[in-house]
A and B are shown apart, each in its own frame.
Chain A
Amino acid sequence: MKRSLIDIVDLSTQELDELIACAKDIMAHPEKYSEICHGKKLATLFFEPSTRTRMSFEAAMYELGGNVISMSSAASSSAAKGESVADTARVISCYADIIAMRHPKEGAALVAANNASVPVINAGDGGHCHPTQTLADLLTIDIQKGRFSGLTVGLCGDLKFGRTVHSLINALSRYEDVRFVLISPEELRLPDYVKTDVLEARGIAYEETADLEGAMPSLDILYMTRVQKERFFNEEDYLRLKDSYILTPAKLAGAKKDLAILHPLPRVNEISVAVDDDPRACYFKQVLCGKFMREALIIKLLKEAGTI
């Protein structure tokens, strides 16, 4: 049966575990998978530019022996001529076996999925969801820690608008005994509905703090995000706060030896380059994990659709 991935909550815990196992198997035995998508086509529909996500999907499909077709650019495409997302999805379904779509409007991926006759993977729909980023995050944590249960996960930076943070909380809070430390300025705290609907509803322990260094010693995972200037009402608040949430070697002084530092990338300045050589920095591994999880996901959805 055709199935799409719009939101990380569309996947059960068992499915997450299976995807992680599959991605690890691909990493260990790439030759086993190098022809699995032979003759199949992935269409990448990016209505807004995101070169790294698009290339990750394309590299994933090539490594599975498949092909990629792509819109040259959003500006010259049918979208610029006013074609609806629904129609675009119907048309592209005639060319491709699976679609990866990024669109600036929230909910666009669901519209595409409801109209496409092939599986649709949401590669980001505005500020709403970006489930393959969360898959990358989960594989990185699994490889570094070998487990999700019992971890103390620090989320730092923009917790209000950061969609990757909300998805990661949603995914990790299904595992036993996970604790969250929410580190952000007052202005960018985690929205109440995430606290009530996810954390409190599932009885997950969490604490909120504005102090990154103070929280550091308790953390097993530190997930950094960007604090963007445009999220603040005034320049002074931004200037006053921005340095508090920049990770430097000095701020890592009290951290555990086996801390894993993640970041969805691209970073601007929230992790100083001096941290890159620290063995605890995992954000480039995370990029690699993203590609392997996309491979596992493409295989899963094409198998469920009966295409491979």
Chain B
Amino acid sequence: MPAAPVARPAGRTGRRLAGLALSLLLLGLVAGLSVAIGAKQLSPAEVWQGLLRPDSPEYAVVHRMRLPRTLLGLVAGAALGVAGAVTQAVTRNPLGDPGLLGINAGASAAVATATAVLGMTAGDIWYALLGAAVVTVAVHAVGGGRAATPARLALAGAALNAVLYSYVSAVMLLDAASLERLRFWTVGSLADARADTVLRVLPFVVAGLLIALATARPLDALALGDDAARALGARPGLVRAAATAAITLLSGAATAACGPLVFVGLLVPHLVRALTGPDLRWLLPYCAVLAPVLLLAADVTARLLGRPGELQVGTVTAVLGGVLFLHLVQRGAGVRR
């Protein structure tokens, strides 16, 4: 038997690891920018002081606003990126997104109901998760239950999405008082981040990330079709359920913390796939690192563009995402086969 070219795949692993390290470096850079740049103009030295010295005048700005905001960007970005990658895998749709499945809309609708109709003011995360979970189950049921196909899921998601956003708009129209608060639920933002925002969503995001990583390999098997997956020892029903749980946790938590940020979860996995290929064992870590890069970069851009006030990051990701999306669609990416 001829000696097999073992060196080649090993070299590829090396390249993938190097790329991941580079991405982490990029993330550090963007996170640094996010702490350094804001509505209030500070010099790098002042930011540094504010970071380290509790008695400096900048301490409050850096620790109460910029750090929580940056951390939230990291956590929510990772959640959205991974949720998007898992959604695209489980729906076998290269342009899939939890938002397109109606999950973010479900979270928004639940929070809108709790705030405007029931008059609740706290516990957004629970309403958001509940809304996300209900919509996930509904999409699954409408999409055909155990016989769900990617196309039917996408249709069911699109329909629910439209219904739920109309509902959120209606609630906002009916109740002018909550309009201001709910605006946040139609365009995502990191601006409301406080130290405890991150802490409240972190356990859900961590749980979601762990489940996602654990299902990476069986999801890879599932990508070959249900029969091939079963022949490889994966259990399609179980894998789909676990993946759905991960998507719900991740996008529910991200939506609860910063409102709907649709395009992040769609674009990042789609672009990353060009680098790593569809292997989720690589795609997921890359998305967890590069989605926060995009989100934080968009947030910094929003702060710079909006000066002296600021734009909502959701506006920037929507514009940026929309343009890139159109470009992808026009190039015919994702509509192959």
Binding partners A and B: no
Q: Which residues of A are in contact with B by a Cβ distance under 8 Å?
A: none
